[in-house]
Amino acid sequence: MADTGANPNSGNESDEENRKVKKLKGEPKGDRGENGEETNLSDFKPTSVLRDSARDKTIFVHGELKEQPAVVVLEKTPFGEDTLTEMFKGAKTNLEVKNDIYSTYVFQPPAHLNEIKATVVCPATEAHVQKYQRKEIIMVEETEDDYKNITLPYITSKGLSVTWVYNILEKKAEKERIIFEDSDKELGFVLLPDFKWDQKQVDDLYLIAIVHKRDIKSLRDLTPDHVQLLQNIYQKGTDAIVQRYGLPTNKLRVYVLYQPSYYHFHVHFNALSYEVPGSGVERAHLLQDIIQNLKSNPQYYKTRTLLFPMRTDDELISMYKAAGRL
């Protein structure tokens, strides 16, 4: 849910932040936030670039918005096939290089077809700034004892809020964004778009299934008692995607992240053609594999050593070092 812009391998970034942001597209129009105040990015005063990525076409900027510290993530939106004709007809082009059959141009589409997605975190704390800065990442080997003695106490002591998740489940927030729900309290879940997806095309489809059960923090809590829940998420989640978006199950990537970005169990659904940051083998566990593992070994996720990437400045890394595990 679902981490736009944060490096998915950067630790425990919170999707709560993504749901507090104000998302502005195209030319600034102003957007009314939860406090009723109008937000306009023309008021943003950049002070430093925290990180940029030429590959992902994103830049992370620190600055001030209406005298409050803020982080703005700018991301080029994907091309829409249905607007290509209009784009080429209305574009301005300037030739840069021509050599035999090859030419390079500066291509300027019409403004309304040249959108940039802006994700705003405001007010941003120092923790937000640190989160978005480029940092060294290392792999952590977490044994059963490590989880019990280091990771779980960390989760418990931090008291990481998932109130925003409960607000979704209780329809206090984002009700209109839910595309499917199974309301069963044991087997049910809600399915809604991740904020990283602009919902303009299925090529980069990204949805999150959030379970109604509130006693599953992560992969580590799963037992054979949860197999029916996981199967239900997979079957009904993929069915809903087929019916609404026409994307068949064999073109979907369905997985769970460890460590997760927030500690309420949720499942990611992506278009297989979309190379989602953070969905690599070092962090993602396919849902079908999880089901099979639990069927073959009831204690699989209780006892297995799990590896995951983590930023070297993360507090959890400090706890592993203090315990002599790094």
Phi, psi torsion values for 306, nearest 5 degrees: -110, 135
- Specify the DSSP class assigned to residue 167: H
CA 253 to CA 286: how far, in whole Å? 8
Other beta carbons within 10 angstroms of residue 296's beta carbon come to 9
Pairwise CA distance, residues 40 & 317, whole Å:
38
Per-position DSSP letters for 89-154, written without gaps between them: HH-EEEEEEEETTEEEEEEE--GGGS-EEEEEESS--HHHHHHHS---EEEEEE-HHHIIIIIHHH
Token pair 């991301």 is at which residue? Answer: 75
C-beta separation of 22 from 37 below 8 A: no
Side chain identity at residue 318, one-letter code: S
Report the distance separating Cα 224 and Cα 306, nearest Å.
18
List residues with catalytic annotation: 266
Q: Quick check: helix, strand or coil at residue 287?
A: helix
Residue 29's SS3 state is coil
Do the beta carbons of residue 12 and residue 308 sit within 8 Å? no
The total of other beta-carbon atoms located within 10 Å of residue 133's CB is: 18
Question: How many other C-beta atoms are found inside a 10 Å radius of the C-beta of residue 84?
Answer: 12
> Are the C-beta atoms of residues 237 and 182 closer than 8 Å to each other?
no
Answer yes or no: are the C-beta atoms of 253 and 275 closer than 8 Å.
Answer: no
